[in-house]
Amino acid sequence: MYKGRRLDELTGVPLSEWEPHELSQHHFSLSQLTPWLNAQGVSLHHQLIEEIERRGGLPMAAVDRDMEEKHPAADGESHDEHRFHY
């Protein structure tokens, strides 16, 4: 179970000050909710992705930390969940 700061606790905190495990958790959560996000949610998700990319990705410790559910990137392989392959 996730034990970090909730999204409402992070409101107003610059993304550059978020811990890696917070970026990972909230990116994963928003990824799962993508079909139901409004414009503000989509914008936040894109900002999270840009911050993760700016940092050069997430360390595996951040991906696994405090998560019972397996994160898509936890298999150690390159994972691009934002592209669809047909």
Report pLDDT digits (tens) over 56-84. 998 877 666 545 455 555 555 555 555 54
DSSP at 17: G
CA torsion sign for 52, 83, 63, 27 is: positive
Tokens of 71: 């994160």
Q: Is the pTM of this model over 0.85?
A: no
